[in-house]
A and B are shown apart, each in its own frame.
Chain A
Amino acid sequence: MDHFAYFPQTEGDIKAMLERIGVNSLDDLYSDVPGEFMFKGEYDLPDALSETEVRSFFEDLAKKNVPLKIFAGAGAYDHYSPSVVQNIISRSEFLTAYTPYQCEISQGTLRYIFEYQSIICALTGMDVSNASMYDGPTAAAEAMMLCMASTKKKTRVLLSDGLLPHVVKTVETYAKYHGIEIGHAPVMNGQTCINCLKAELSKGDVAGVILPSINRFGIVEDHSGFGEAIHGAKALMVEYCDPSALAVVKSPAEWGADIAVGDGQPLGIPVCFGGPYVGFMAAKKDYLRKLPGRIVGQTVDREGKRSYVLTLQAREQHIRREKATSNICSNQSLMALYVTVYASLMGPEGLRKVNELSSAGAHYLYNRLLSTGKFEEVFPNKPFLKEFVLKPLVPIAELQKKLKDNGFFGALATEEGFVSFAVTEKRTPEEIDALVKVVEE
């Protein structure tokens, strides 16, 4: 056997251990495996590399990506992340721990999850938050199942057509296999249409409605009257939100929602080709006992010291098995730490400023693009923050290619033939000017 850095046993150790066990060789440890299943071929894998070789391998591989200035969003936003965040999440006491099963030696993880839950509740205005989930779209799917589990004799969940396509497709997939019918709440004039929604609700079979706080056109939706209509039909109201924007847009609680879900990525998590991110889910306290995932609670220990534990575990799969509301086992703990440290550094003022800067940049780009004469307004006078759509008067593919060839990523096509742009506080006025110049050429 070749020595290898991750295996700390010497030949002498292996021999002594085999002796204690009472077998002659490592192969004897597999005497219970039928011989035909012992793999005798050669694994089709590369030769082992040294660290130096691995480094240069990845440096070369990374060169095959083209770095672009990001002017798009659609569910993943290129926000600034303070240096402290990466530094804290790299601490191996956090990084190399597992789910805090032994609370006495996991108070670090348990405390930051408690803080995370507090931060999510502060942003959404909800009473309770779980310890986090995989990502926004799967959190929305879990919310759909929670709607079904919390209502009686209902068969449908409605999705606003203003939700981002990756959310809709994920929720539809879960619905299909779980046996839930999906209905749609159409968008009229850039916003989920309340009268169309009421018509659907009047059929009496709706368990819940999932609405975008900010829709896929970047428009901040007005949900006045939605809560009354949805609750009047004995259904649950779910808001899918960008948690960063919640610093300035009406919170799910202010709209009267029962459940808030979304992706925590805009809170300082790198875009990183789509993951890892973190889904959040918070709800009114009535739904606490059906909330999926881990939850951390505060208590005291034998000596009266303030302590934190995983709580209300009777909801979960390891106790309820097939009767659990969800199969979710872990959480995205480290990404929840990302969110927690980020929100602690930014505070209410920092988050407000992030929105201010992003919005100012987005409006500047919006006006500059219009002034090129190559776009038309689609939803004039509708409020937006960092993301918007325009109707291009040039072929979309051509526009996208031009941007790409000049180092920009933007003008994502929507199904209606619009293009969307997003601007964060990381973009500068000069970068925006440069992008507009490319469009003009």
Chain B
Amino acid sequence: MKYYDKLIFEFSKEGNIGYSLPRNRYSETPLLPSSVAREAPLPLPEVSEVDVVRHYTNLSQMNFGVDTGFYPLGSCTMKYNPKINEEIAAMPAWNSIHPLQDEDTVQGVLEVYYNMEKSLAAITGLSKFTFNPCAGAHGELTGLMIMKRYHELRGDSARKKIIVPDSAHGTNPASAAVCGFEVVEVKSLENGRIDVAALETLLDETVAGIMMTNPNTLGLFETEIKEIATLVHKAGGLLYYDGANMNPLMGVVRPGDMGFDIMHLNLHKTFSTPHGGGGPGSGPVGVAKHLEACLPLPHVVKGEDGKFHIEKENGTTAGKVSGFMGNFGVILRAYTYILMLGKQHLRSVGQLSVLGANYIKESLKDVYKLPIGGVCKHEFVFDGLVNDGAHDDVPGATTLDVAKRLLDFGFHAPTIYFPLLFHQAIMIEPTETESKETLDSFIEVMREIAKEAAEDPNILHEAPHNTPVRRPDETAAARNPILKYQDAI
């Protein structure tokens, strides 16, 4: 990657334009009264079309994506994003549809929603899905709203607590708080699983439910899930499944069968839609039968006439969680993926993602600390280097150093310093779309880095060496915030 140092504003020259608009053929062009008209200058850049194209092409070349190389970012499921998905989503037939158009002019669109709901229900063992949440965290919040609404409809107003394991994604407690719940943490055992005895002491009539991911953020299957589900349900609570870690269960295990009442899926993780540099995603939420009435609206239903309708009002819904019906363009891509996979290839998604993770783990556990052994699912966590090279006045190489050194070798780094259970966490998730050769070269580089650390940790402290920029000063960025072009000039 080559360093390129321009901002679009720096191309600006008065009189340059990059648009092509029709000539004004109306006889009158009304003016806004000055009382409501903008007086302030509008400091947008004035740039020619070719300069815009070159600028963003140059910027793109300082970026690493799944199409660039291996991206083993744990918890994010950076699988290959099939190109046919993009082709289907780009069809003008979808892009030119207004969200408030009459039902009978959007039957094709509604059929996508309906079929997706059926497919996700089959894959997860849940009953119905809403597609209105735009991201995973948005799905969590929506799921919790459904939970709260469910208890409310039963006249049970005392349930104000949500139990969250200490290994949970940060969004879990944050979503619970935004939804007006009190968050209670349950500890993990030495073996990385939820402490069921500790959980039992927390369960009473004030608990609305528990948020879990299974496998958990250590990539470990919660083997006592049946016991947990029984206890939580007995106490009158519900089980929420954070679908961030659904990939290893694809075609193998269904969350609904394990006793989960509500879950979200990340279509941008498990269902191959591109992450887009952080979004748009899609976080559909599924519920078991007894929670169907609480789903957010609007929702697509199939009528007896075989036509699709949009349900807009009912007395039991949790409410409205986004502007229209979620990120339709993303849902289309995920639907394309499901049609390509079909029932024939679903199981391989889960199995091969687990195969890759275990293969890396077993190939590196002699040089990176593996705190908890045994078979993992789609991801696993190391706790730093076995030999970090610390000696005399030279501090040892940290997980951050390892991550930065990986960039020099053309790999994206794993997720680091999460989960919070370990001080030097390195969370690796390869996904099913990586070949043995790719995993082998990653393993080789990770071993090489471990060797460098042991011999001369300074190589790692100084890393990355070959990237466009090297360890930008984050402290200075926070201390003296420059957050827009106008601040910098």
Contacts and interface: CB of A to CB of B under 8 A. Distances in A.
B230 interface: no
Contacts of B252: 30, 33, 38-39
A109 B171 CA distance: 23
Interface in A321-376: 321-324, 326-335, 337, 340-341, 343-354, 356-357, 359-361, 363-364
Nearest to A401: B102
Main secondary structure of the interface of B (DSSP, over half): loop
A153 interface: no
Contacts of A308: 472
Interface stretch (B62-70, B232-240, B448-456): B62-70
A80 interface: yes
Contacts of B359: 17, 20-21
A74 B101 CA distance: 11
A32 B375 contact: yes
A98 B450 CA distance: 26
B355 A26 contact: yes
A440 B115 CA distance: 41
A239 interface: no
A84 B56 CA distance: 10
Interface in A145-182: 145, 166-167, 169-170, 172-174, 176-179
Given A62-B91, A326-B178, A311 B170 contact: no
A324 B7 CA distance: 32
Contact of A249 (B37, B176, B356, B467): B37
B274 A131 contact: no
A333 B268 CA distance: 13
A119 B436 CA distance: 44
A121 B472 contact: no
Interface string A58-99: 110111111110101011101010101011101111111111
B280 interface: yes
Interface stretch (A197-205, A229-237, A297-305): A297-305
A16 interface: yes
Given A49-B339, A341-B52, A95 B274 contact: yes
Contacts of A113: 277
B262 to A, nearest CB: 14
Nearest to B274: A95
Given A26-B355, A129-B483, A45 B73 contact: no
A157 to B, nearest CB: 15
B433 A21 contact: no
Contacts of A61: 108, 111-112
A227 to B, nearest CB: 14
Interface string B223-263: 10110000000000000000000000001111001100000
Interface residues of A, number: 208
Contact of A330 (B97, B135, B326, B374): B135
B17 A275 contact: no
B24 A94 contact: no
B48 to A, nearest CB: 9
A332 B239 CA distance: 29
Interface string B70-98: 01010010111110101110110111111
Contact of B60 (A80, A94, A105): A94
A345 B67 contact: no
Nearest to B343: A45
A272 interface: yes
Contacts of A311: 474, 477-478, 481, 483
Interface string A133-152: 01111100000010000000
B71, B95, B362, B483 — most chain A CB neighbours (10 Å) = B483
Contact of B276 (A31, A136, A322, A334): A334
A123 B40 CA distance: 10
Interface residues of B, number: 199
B283 to A, nearest CB: 10
A134 to B, nearest CB: 4
Nearest to A297: B477
Contacts of B91: 58-59, 62
Contact of B177 (A55, A309, A322, A345): A322
A383 interface: yes
B421 interface: no
Contacts of B340: 6, 48-49, 51, 54
B323 A135 contact: yes
A380 interface: no
Interface string B369-385: 00000110000000000
B278 A4 contact: no
Interface string B404-427: 100100001101001000000000
Nearest to B481: A297
A275 B326 contact: yes
A272 B44 contact: no
A33 B17 CA distance: 61
Contact of B179 (A36, A74, A107, A177): A177
Given A129-B483, A254-B38, A363 B19 contact: no
A344 B47 contact: yes
Nearest to A89: B276
Contacts of B478: 297, 311-314
A425 B252 CA distance: 52
Contacts of A320: 174
B324 to A, nearest CB: 3
Contacts of B344: 2, 4, 47-48
Given A121-B484, A383-B32, A62 B277 contact: no
A222 B232 CA distance: 54
A93 B63 contact: yes
Contacts of B87: 55
Nearest to B328: A273
B22 A357 contact: yes
Contacts of B30: 359-360, 363
- Which 9 A-B pairs have CB atoms at the shortest separation, nearest pair first? A274-B324, A48-B342, A274-B99, A334-B276, A173-B319, A108-B63, A96-B65, A276-B280, A345-B18
6 contacts: A4-B341, A98-B275, A115-B8, A173-B321, A273-B328, A274-B325
Given A21-B375, A333-B276, 19 more contacts: A33-B253, A45-B123, A49-B339, A54-B340, A65-B109, A78-B98, A102-B403, A105-B468, A118-B485, A123-B42, A271-B97, A275-B325, A298-B477, A298-B483, A300-B472, A301-B473, A305-B5, A306-B5, A383-B36
